[in-house]
Structure 1
């Protein structure tokens, strides 16, 4: 036995023994054990009988030259590796879904315990995700309407695990809030708010930012097309309305992402990154949302997929009232936004 065979045999035996021990201790199971043991047994078999690689070579119909057996081994090991990677990806997705469900359940249960008197929300429910926006949330809440289009309004703040006194300020202002136990991102906070809106029988959901960029007085323009049955999903557009110039690069990015969404879907938009939107709760229930951070293109693409009637309405977007943007650096935000577009479209 050559030194290479001896090393392969040793690694294979140690790997197989480790997998047996982990299975016995309950640290791993199922497909993980299957892939691990298959690889370990294959390494042991090839180390003991290198001629087995010739069988793999013959299965692949490779020519019998000096490196054909090594090529055959490389091909089969890559097939095994890719199968394991797909399995691991699917398992990670399931675990991520379970974790998100746990966070949502904890947040909603906390809301129910603290607000037993709340039996339902108003027909129009405004959801404001907030993360460390104590300097801005108060002024936003002061401007919130009590009624739009003849329908009562509930304003719900979803605190995304803030470390400041955001929830104390919301409570002092007399508005309901849901507190996430940890910071998960604006998209995750919105999903919790959406679930609350469905549970508490809201009819139309409006989303807007907590940093003072959006004007509560313009909510009616978003809700009206849905009330009149002219649209299922209404997106606010700064390009149809007004905006204060913040970054030329980000403005250019909006045009690029509008074009990209237009390329991938049949919908033509002027402002795909605007977080001020309105959607009917029945339509919302159709969407499968997963993005924690770059959620605006996901909602659009999912809405197109389910055949929702999409319309834009002019709104005003101001620079944030105070504090730093949570979006991060322009390049990082742009790459994340593009990734969200392609990932949602592919899914």
Structure 2
């Protein structure tokens, strides 16, 4: 038994087709489909109401993550699948994800298949975010923020307090599962050009993603963030100190302050790590 949660905001052009495809592909399973209309101003709700699915409507736009959490809270089953309502994810790939659902805590549809339509201007930022996430989480993550994945309600609800209400929901849940030792399986899928206009703001959302990655890793593994900063400051301070002492014969306040700051940040990281381990 599986509950499929579809967060939707102004997706009138694609949501009907997505729901129809889900009903067809899931006919051999016991399932429910929950569409969470996140305050759409178009005919999204009207289109969904004509289908044999459950619809929940937010009174106004709260966010992608908030819509997913609403769907999870109202799901009848422990096994949850999320998929976007814009037609960009291949519904026909769902059976492949379900095949391994009993063996992993989360199965992610990784957009690394043979046909992947990601806009060119988004690829450098996506690559940078992936490299940052891979380093901080010490894990190879093929797709950090795929919107097609399966997980269990009892597991994800443990992290509701740190899962954001915006687009960064998927990024956070990926990092959270990896840094807490849960098993994640990536299944390659295709990814198509979405129907309608994207709601992502490249610059603002990109900066938010960076902050989110650092914050999430700090929450679970603070030394991974604090220690590199401490080492860099110490090395810079030491280099300046040696330069001033050897060549200028006069040591200013800057290198001393940098070295002191390095030790302070390092000890702060150690303290944060002790707190995390006692949780």
Q: TM-score range by the shorter chain?
A: 0.7 to 0.9
Residues 25 and 91, structure 2, Cα contact 8 Å, conserved in 1:
no
Q: 1:126 to 1:241 in 2, by over 3 A?
A: farther
Distance in 2 between residues matched to 1:190 and 1:325, nearest whole Å: 18
Distance in 2 between residues matched to 1:131 and 1:171, nearest whole Å: 15
Aligned to 2:126: 254
Aligned to 1:340: 212
What are the equivalent positions in structure 2 for 1:143-158 lying under 5 Å apart?
Answer: 143-145=21-23, 148=26, 151-158=29-36
Q: Runs of 5+ in structure 1 lacking a partner?
A: 1-122
Helix, strand or coil at the partner of 1:304:
helix
- Shift, 1:339, TM fit: 1.8
Distance in 1 between residues matched to 2:55 and 2:189, nearest whole Å: 25
Aligned to 1:313: 187
CA RMSD for the aligned pairs?
1.8
Aligned to 2:228: none
Larger Rg: 1
Question: Could you state the TM-score of these two structures normalised by the residue count of structure 2?
Answer: 0.73
- Shift, 1:132, TM fit: 0.9
Question: Could you state the TM-score of these two structures normalised by the residue count of structure 1?
Answer: 0.59
Off by >4 Å, runs of 4+ in structure 1: 146-150
Aligned to 2:110: 237
Q: Runs of 5+ in structure 2 lacking a partner?
A: 220-279
Aligned to 1:292: 165
**Are residue 226 (structure 1) and residue 101 (structure 2) matched?**
yes
Distance in 1 between residues matched to 2:80 and 2:28, nearest whole Å: 15
- Shift, 1:253, TM fit: 2.1
Aligned to 2:240: none
- Shift, 1:345, TM fit: 2.1
- Shift, 1:268, TM fit: 1.1
- Shift, 1:150, TM fit: 5.3
What is the aligned residue count?
217
What are the equivalent positions in structure 2 for 1:98-177 lying under 5 Å apart?
Answer: 123-145=1-23, 148=26, 151-177=29-55
CA displacement 1:158-186 (0-9 Å, x = unmatched): 11011122111111112111111121110
Distance in 1 between residues matched to 2:149 and 2:210, nearest whole Å: 20
What are the equivalent positions in structure 2 for 1:61-72 lying under 5 Å apart?
Answer: none
Residues 147 and 153, structure 1, Cα contact 8 Å, conserved in 2:
no
Helix, strand or coil at the partner of 2:155:
helix
Distance in 2 between residues matched to 1:172 and 1:151, nearest whole Å: 22
| Larger RCO, structure (CA 8 Å, separation 6 or more) | 2
Distance in 2 between residues matched to 1:233 and 1:241, nearest whole Å: 22
